[in-house]
């Protein structure tokens, strides 16, 4: 009876030992490392890869990922003093850690107006818009637009990864080049590649900066009505006399100008004709004498 029980126990212990040994060898086995410069399939297909701990069970990783948005707002207001309101709006943007991109103040028909463009950190955008709406004045309209650039940033990151990997391969080729001609060819290719990398890196930085800072455009008009001069209903003799004197002086000046023109264009030709007539008549009298 004991022998019958011992044989199954030995078989069970043997199987358990083999299973533990197999698991240990799998965990401590070699890990495949991609060659330098190799581009992963995720980069080639523009598929975002999320680093860090795995998401909780039952929650998709892409659903939990944040989206990159370029947010802009347009606010139109009326105020008794638009310039003062514009200064207050500028201080609001600076107070939230933003900056002023442009300011235009003007006066038309004795009415002030102001237009300014600000940018604030994206995480303080709602607070900034709410503070602007609380300024002294009446909000006429407001709108908020958002442009999702998540896919664009993922694409730029994948392209930069691929180009930098290709740059690493060219650097290896340059180090192993044996002739000057080979080195020159690799150097030309590297120069073109680095130019593309710089362009994409600049585009990526600009896009990330627009995501990090939202833009707010504010236009402020005046609530005061424009001053329009009405017709003069009261008779003013002195003003009428001054107008008459001015008209008479203009008339005299016109007559003097006309006399000068007549003397130049009519008097001179008459003098010439008179001289010719006198000379001709003198010649006729001489033979008769």
- How far does Cα 44 stand from its chain's mean position? 31
pLDDT digits (tens, 9 = 90+) for 151-202: 999 999 999 999 999 999 989 988 888 888 888 988 899 999 999 999 999 9
Contact present, 124 and 71 (Cβ < 8 Å)? no
pLDDT at 284: 67
Residue 86 has pLDDT above 80, yes or no: yes
d(CA 86, CA 90): 6
pLDDT at 225: 66
d(CA 79, CA 116): 14
d(CA 221, CA 112): 7
pLDDT at 260: 80
Examine the domain organization and report whether 110 and 140 are in the same domain: yes
Q: Is residue 287 part of a domain?
A: no
Residue 285 has pLDDT above 90, yes or no: no
Look at strands 69-79 and 138-148 and give their pairing.
antiparallel
Contact present, 137 and 85 (Cβ < 8 Å)? yes
Q: Is residue 248 part of a domain?
A: no
pLDDT at 44: 36
Alpha-carbon distances of 181 from 89, 189, 192, rounded to whole Å? 62, 13, 17
Comparing 242 with 168, the larger pLDDT belongs to 168
**DSSP string over 193-229:** HHHHHHHHHHHHHHHHHHHHEEEEEEEEEE-SPP--P
| Domain CATH number, residue 133 | 3.30.70
Examine the domain organization and report whether 132 and 157 are in the same domain: no
Q: Is residue 126 part of a domain?
A: yes
Examine the domain organization and report whether 121 and 166 are in the same domain: no
d(CA 157, CA 208): 11
pLDDT at 226: 58
Domain end among 165, 199, 222: 222
Residue 9 has pLDDT above 50, yes or no: no
Comparing 263 with 107, the larger pLDDT belongs to 107
Q: Is residue 274 part of a domain?
A: no
Examine the domain organization and report whether 112 and 98 are in the same domain: yes
Once rounded to an integer, what is the mean pLDDT over residues 133-154?
Answer: 92
Examine the domain organization and report whether 165 and 108 are in the same domain: no
State what percent of residues in the chain have pLDDT above 70.
Answer: 71
Examine the domain organization and report whether 85 and 139 are in the same domain: yes
For CA atoms 206, 212, 213, 214, the dihedral sign is: positive
Residue 60 has pLDDT above 60, yes or no: no
d(CA 205, CA 210): 9
- Crossing angle for the helix pair 180-212 and 150-176, to the nearest 10 degrees: 160
d(CA 81, CA 40): 60
Q: Is residue 122 part of a domain?
A: yes
Contact present, 75 and 216 (Cβ < 8 Å)? yes
Examine the domain organization and report whether 141 and 162 are in the same domain: no
Q: Is residue 285 part of a domain?
A: no
- How far does Cα 148 stand from its chain's mean position? 16
**DSSP string over 21-44:** HHHHHHHTS----PPTT---HHHH
Comparing 19 with 225, the larger pLDDT belongs to 225
Alpha-carbon distances of 246 from 201, 235, 239, rounded to whole Å? 72, 18, 11
pLDDT digits (tens, 9 = 90+) for 23-52: 343 333 333 333 333 333 333 333 333 333
Examine the domain organization and report whether 111 and 129 are in the same domain: yes
Contact present, 212 and 125 (Cβ < 8 Å)? no
d(CA 71, CA 102): 18
Domain end among 190, 210, 230: 210
Q: Is residue 31 part of a domain?
A: no
Q: Is residue 77 part of a domain?
A: yes
pLDDT at 257: 82
pLDDT digits (tens, 9 = 90+) for 87-139: 999 999 999 999 999 999 999 888 999 999 999 999 999 999 999 999 988 99
Examine the domain organization and report whether 144 and 183 are in the same domain: no
Examine the domain organization and report whether 89 and 155 are in the same domain: no
Domain end among 210, 243, 260: 210
pLDDT at 227: 54
Domain containing 144 equals: 66-148+216-222
Report the domain count for the chain.
2
Examine the domain organization and report whether 101 and 80 are in the same domain: yes
Examine the domain organization and report whether 161 and 200 are in the same domain: yes
Nearest 5 degrees, angle CA 246-CA 249-CA 250? 85
Mean pLDDT, the chain, integer = 76
Return the structure tokens found at 155: 């694409």
């Amino acid at each position: 009876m004991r022998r019958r029980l011992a044989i199954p126990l030995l078989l069970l212990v043997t199987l358990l030992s083999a299973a533990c040994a197999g698991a240990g060898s799998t965990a401590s086995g070699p890990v495949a490392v991609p060659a330098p410069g190799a581009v992963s399939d995720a980069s080639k297909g523009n598929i975002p890869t999320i680093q860090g701990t795995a998401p909780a069970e039952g929650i998709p990783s892409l659903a939990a990922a944040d989206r990159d948005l370029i947010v802009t707002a347009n606010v139109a207001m009326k105020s008794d003093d638009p310039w003062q309101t514009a200064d207050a709006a500028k201080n609001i943007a600076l107070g939230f850690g933003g900056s002023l991109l442009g300011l235009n103040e003007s006066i038309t028909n004795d009415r002030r107006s102001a237009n300014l463009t600000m940018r604030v950190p994206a995480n303080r955008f709602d607070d900034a818009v709410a503070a602007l709406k609380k300024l002294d004045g009446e909000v006429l309209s407001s709108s908020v637009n958002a442009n999702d650039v998540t896919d664009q940033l993922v694409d730029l990151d994948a392209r930069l990864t691929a180009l930098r990997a290709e740059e690493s391969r060219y650097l290896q080729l340059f180090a192993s080049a044996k002739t000057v001609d080979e080195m020159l060819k690799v150097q030309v290719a590297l120069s073109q590649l680095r130019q593309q990398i710089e362009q994409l890196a600049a585009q990526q930085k600009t896009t990330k900066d627009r995501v990090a800072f939202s833009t707010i455009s504010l236009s402020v008009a005046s609530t005061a009505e424009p001053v329009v001069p009405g017709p003069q209903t009261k008779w003013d003799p002195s003003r009428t006399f001054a107008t008459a004197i001015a008209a008479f002086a203009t008339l005299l000046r016109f007559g003097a100008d006309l006399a000068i023109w007549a003397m130049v264009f009519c008097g001179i030709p008459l003098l010439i004709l008179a001289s010719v007539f006198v000379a001709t008549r003198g010649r006729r009298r001489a033979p008769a004498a």
